[in-house]
Homo-oligomer: A and B are copies of this chain.
Amino acid sequence: MRITVMKFGGTSVADPEKIQRAAERAVAERRKGRGVVVVVSAPGQMTDELLTLAERVAPRPDERELDQLLSTGEQVGISLFSMACLARGAAAVSMTGAQAGVEAQGPHTRAQIVRIRPANILRELHAGRIVTVAGFQGLNDAGAVATLGRGGSDLTAVALASALKTGSCEIFSDVKGVYTADPRIVFEARKLTRLGFEEMLELAGAGSQVMQARSLEVAASHGVSIHVRSAFHREPGTWIVPKENNTMLEKARVSALALDKNEVRLSIVDVPDRPGVAAEVLSVLAKRDIPVDMIIQSAPTHRGVNDISFMTPRAWASKAREALASAAKELNARVDLHEHVAKISAVGTGFRHHPWVAARMFETLAKNKINIHMIVASDLRISCVVDAKHGETALRALHRAYGLGKSR
């Protein structure tokens, strides 16, 4: 029996009508004779509502209990989804993470999947049932529910595809696929047919919300291709696939642009120019699990000091500033926070050997009189930090400059 793994995100199952539409797709797939496993997220805003409830009961809720609480959202999702399949005449059965054999370990609220024992799922598939599996959760050694953190349902889908050896999984959400740029900002933005894992990972790092880096990494290392598509439209979306063997064609390619306005720039200014200082500063951040991107250390000034700057998500800004403040005090330095910034990135391949990609970005921004605060470039991504107010203009100008709107 060939098996399809489908995953429906929270917006795809936000209300009974949407659940019914999603269930129709699962039933149609089953009627083609395939085994169907559906990973379901918590409907709509349920997770946020439960979180609010928890915070009203306890300002800093215990994490084991938070997992026990939050996991009910997905349990509601799978049972409603199964009911909808059954109401359409298809056999179906729902499984919590525990029932589906999803084993997790690590700290509560951010656990990892260790393995999936798919015996229960396979038995039900062979009995002809659509199996709905609660995303975002597993059972740990202590017999407690452990949730997988952000993007956890995507991770469940990828891990199931790997355990069931399907080679791929379908991720249904409210976006139609991966675009050359955000189509709400760039009118000519084009949906990509396929994209390599590495590029998608860079896009996630550049602020694309389509998929979390974690699931992409697991998918890449287990060889699971991902079809990102819309729950509300029939047409195919974007396939995220292992890197194609294109070592012969040493051509640079820009695949897509991303604009991220959800980060702030933090700088620690006038730190002494001696070995180990950068490590000291970064370890302060690492110890608190603060995500950073675009770390830059300036060349030392004549006064023997330099600056270290980086980008961090807006939600982490105050925590990061606090952490830096104590380090700064010891180093006799000071901390600057720039809130009104945007990160604009070009993602693709072969950038290192083809400096025209970077050059064209700088030229285009200059032509539009947009000042660049920071630059970081790798083989797969070039990111510039600009004033927030210039973000959208920059995105449109670069989309034209790289010719992304034309079909290739």
Give the interface of A toward B (CB within 8 A).
Answer: 16, 19-20, 50, 53-54, 56-62, 64-66, 68-69, 71-72, 75-76, 78-80, 82-84, 86-87, 92-94, 96, 98-99, 120, 143-144
Contacts and interface: CB of A to CB of B under 8 A. Distances in A.
Contacts of A84: 57-58
A20 B58 CA distance: 9
Given A16-B57, A65-B82, A75-B75, 14 more contacts: A16-B53, A16-B56, A54-B79, A58-B84, A58-B87, A66-B79, A66-B83, A68-B75, A68-B96, A69-B75, A69-B76, A69-B80, A69-B83, A99-B144
Given A68-B94, A99-B143, A58 B86 contact: yes
Contact of A86 (B16, B65, B82): B65
Contact of A120 (B69, B71, B143): B143
Nearest to A59: B87
B16 A87 contact: no
Q: What is the count of identical protomers in the complex?
A: 2
Nearest to A76: B72
Nearest to A143: B99
Most chain B CB within a 10 A radius of its CB, from A83, A84, A92, A93: A83
Contact of A79 (B20, B65, B120): B65
A78 B96 CA distance: 18
Nearest to A94: B68
B53 A80 contact: yes
A62 B76 contact: no
Contacts of A143: 99, 120
B19 A57 contact: yes
8 contacts: A19-B57, A61-B86, A61-B87, A62-B86, A66-B83, A68-B94, A69-B76, A72-B72
A72 B46 CA distance: 12
Contacts of A53: 16, 76, 80
Given A59-B87, A143-B120, A54 B80 contact: yes
B72 A54 contact: no
A98 to B, nearest CB: 8
A84 B84 CA distance: 36
3 A-B pairs closest in CB distance: A58-B87, A16-B56, A69-B79
A54 B68 contact: no
B82 A62 contact: yes
B58 A83 contact: yes
Contacts of A82: 62, 65, 68
Centre residue among A57, A58, A98 by max chain B CB count within 10 A = A57
B69 A57 contact: no
Contacts of A83: 54, 57-58, 61-62, 65-66, 69
A99 B139 CA distance: 11
Contacts of A80: 53-54, 57, 65, 69
A78 B53 CA distance: 13
A143 B121 CA distance: 13
A252 B230 CA distance: 74
A105 to B, nearest CB: 17
Nearest to A17: B56
A93 B87 CA distance: 37
